Amino acid sequence: MAKTELLIKGPIFGCRMCGNCLLQETAFICPMECPKGMRNGPCGGVTPEKNCYVDETRKCVWYAIYKRALKTGREEILLEVLPPLDYDKVGTETWGDVVRQVRRIGTKEFIGSFFLKDKKKKDEVWDSVFKTIRQPEWWKGDSQYHSKPSAEPASDLEKRLLNGDFIIVTEVTPPLSAKKDKLIKDIESVKPFVTAINFTDSSSARPKMSSIACSSVAVELNAEPILQITSRDITRTGLQATAIGVNVMGIRNILCITGDNARIGSSPVSSMNLVDIDSVQMLWILRRMRDEGIYLDGRTMKVPPKLFLGAATSPFASDPVLQAIKDHKKVNAGAQFFQTNLIFEPDRLDLWLEQLDKRGILDKVYILVGIAPLKSYKVAHYLHTKVPGVNLPEKILTRMEKAGESAPEEGVQIALEMIDSIKNKKGINGIHIMTLGWEAMVQRVVTESGLNPPTPLKGG
């Protein structure tokens, strides 16, 4: 049966026999050819030509799925949070499960649904067959928003956002060695000016001091960390263990990201087939741990972790309509705050914000916009050409190039202009200053941005 299924589904749908079929939800295009193993929508790396940034010779499979779903009026089904693979099933057929479900609802009714003109009815019949297959008991994914049952904030960051404060966060670059002097110096230097500090998780797929270690140093220094976890480097077991472990260390803010693909990282390139969970699944798992006190396998825990959950978003990665669908899904899965990719075209943000508003999620998620003071033309050019989802308009590139030796000053002025054009937009709750290793500039950018002087961090 498995061989027959592959022979038929392979050429028609690009099926890879994952044994956990989602075709009905993914506009009948198999998502398994995505090199990042994304099962819940595109990453932020689609190229302007809609190709995959990991392998630019191929079209982004998720872009194709979204386009077809929009064309056939099935985009809302894309909001359903889909489970990670059950590896017991990988390589096995799903037709046996389908036949059992068809028998359960009645073969006649199922065949009759092919001829139904009423789309809603047709979808109901199909869902009664396929939903039980793609949503096993241990996952129970849906397309609903789940508000947090407790109003108690998990962290200072959540508390201040709840208060309606306009927030400034930044990031400190993790060290490349086992020495923490510079890390301490950088944390101390930015701490008085921000509410929380991001620590990246081996950005660009190159190893550095772990985000957990950096976050724990921040806690020791009475600074509030935002722990970044990439799905590239973690399994479902590791994620759950990390969430409860870091909680007892005082780490409450977790940013769930997919992370850069191994192919753009250090050589020799590691396996790209080890992706166990994606960022949407991370959010879903952590939200259920926090709100329902359960592990993925259904075991309950006496003391659930206190978490403030965030996600990354790349407003300009693809069409804002498509990006908003993915962001909507993240909010439904559990994202309480977004940190955007670097923004250099504030006006373009409006289209994306409009789409979030249309979807009714602008008031369900806090948005912190990524801003970077550019240190040189080389940095500007690198971001524009090498970093997926980041686009610098020609006029900014020209300004940086013409500035010559004054490029760092020009970069700060550009950052201040960005903050000025973004801070009053509806739906924006703060700024994320991405230092790109230039932590010394945080004080100046915050002080000169005209934002309210930041209130001290706890203990600060």
Single-letter residue type at 1: M
Tell me whether residue 321 or residue 416 sits nearer to ligand SF4 (CB atom).
321
Indicate the angle between helix axes 279-292 and 236-248, nearest 10 degrees: 50
Tell me whether residue 68 or residue 146 sits nearer to ligand SF4 (CB atom).
68
Binding segment for ligand SF4 (CB under 6 A), chosen from 29-37, 187-195, 402-410, 450-458, is 29-37
Tell me whether residue 44 or residue 175 sits nearer to ligand SF4 (CB atom).
44
For residue 23, the minimal CB distance to ligand SF4 (Å) is 17
Query: What distance in Å separates the CA atoms of residue 39 and residue 61, rounded to the nearest whole number?
Result: 11
Q: Give the count of beta carbons closer than 10 Å to the beta carbon of residue 245.
A: 13
Q: Give the count of beta carbons closer than 10 Å to the beta carbon of residue 58.
A: 12
Query: What distance in Å separates the CA atoms of residue 207 and residue 114, rounded to the nearest whole number?
Result: 52
CA dihedral 56, 61, 65, 68 (to 10 degrees): 50
DSSP 154-180: SSHHHHHHHTTPPEEEEE-PPPSSS--
Query: What distance in Å separates the CA atoms of residue 160 and residue 252, rounded to the nearest whole number?
Result: 14
Q: Are strands 167-171 and 337-342 parallel, antiparallel or unpaired?
A: unpaired
For residue 264, the minimal CB distance to ligand SF4 (Å) is 11
In degrees, rounded to 5, the angle at the alpha carbon of residue 132 between the alpha carbons of residues 287 and 94 is 115
Tell me whether residue 68 or residue 148 sits nearer to ligand SF4 (CB atom).
68
Tell me whether residue 35 or residue 141 sits nearer to ligand SF4 (CB atom).
35
For residue 36, the minimal CB distance to ligand SF4 (Å) is 4
For residue 81, the minimal CB distance to ligand SF4 (Å) is 16
Please, how many CA atoms are within 13 Å of residue 301, restricted to the half-sphere of its CB?
19
Per-position x/- string for 34-63, each x denoting binding to ligand SF4 as judged by CB under 6 A, each - no binding: xxx-x---xx-xx-----xxx-----xxx-
Contact 154, 306 (CB under 8 A): yes
For residue 328, the minimal CB distance to ligand SF4 (Å) is 17
Query: What part of residues 254-283 is at the interface with ligand SF4 (CB under 6 A)?
Result: none
Query: What part of residues 407-436 is at the interface with ligand SF4 (CB under 6 A)?
Result: none
Tell me whether residue 205 or residue 415 sits nearer to ligand SF4 (CB atom).
205
Query: What part of residues 120-139 is at the interface with ligand SF4 (CB under 6 A)?
Result: none
* The residue to which tokens 């803010």 are assigned: 253
Tell me whether residue 70 or residue 244 sits nearer to ligand SF4 (CB atom).
70
For residue 38, the minimal CB distance to ligand SF4 (Å) is 5
Per-position x/- string for 62-101, each x denoting binding to ligand SF4 as judged by CB under 6 A, each - no binding: x---------------------------------------
Phi, psi of 44 (to 5 degrees): -85, 20
For residue 193, the minimal CB distance to ligand SF4 (Å) is 34
For residue 317, the minimal CB distance to ligand SF4 (Å) is 8
For residue 303, the minimal CB distance to ligand SF4 (Å) is 36
Tell me whether residue 46 or residue 451 sits nearer to ligand SF4 (CB atom).
46
The two three-digit tokens of residue 293, written as one number: 């006190």
State the number of binding residues for ligand SF4 (CB under 6 A).
Answer: 14
For residue 460, the minimal CB distance to ligand SF4 (Å) is 39
* The residue to which tokens 């706890």 are assigned: 458
Tell me whether residue 38 or residue 342 sits nearer to ligand SF4 (CB atom).
38
Tell me whether residue 202 or residue 258 sits nearer to ligand SF4 (CB atom).
258
Prior bond to 388 cis, omega within 30?
A: no
Query: What distance in Å separates the CA atoms of residue 17 and residue 7, rounded to the nearest whole number?
Result: 10
The answer to whether the Cα torsion of 256, 141, 320, 322 is positive or negative is positive
Contact 254, 312 (CB under 8 A): no
Query: What part of residues 280-309 is at the interface with ligand SF4 (CB under 6 A)?
Result: none
Task: List residues binding ligand SF4 (CB under 6 A).
Answer: 34-36, 38, 42-43, 45-46, 52-54, 60-62
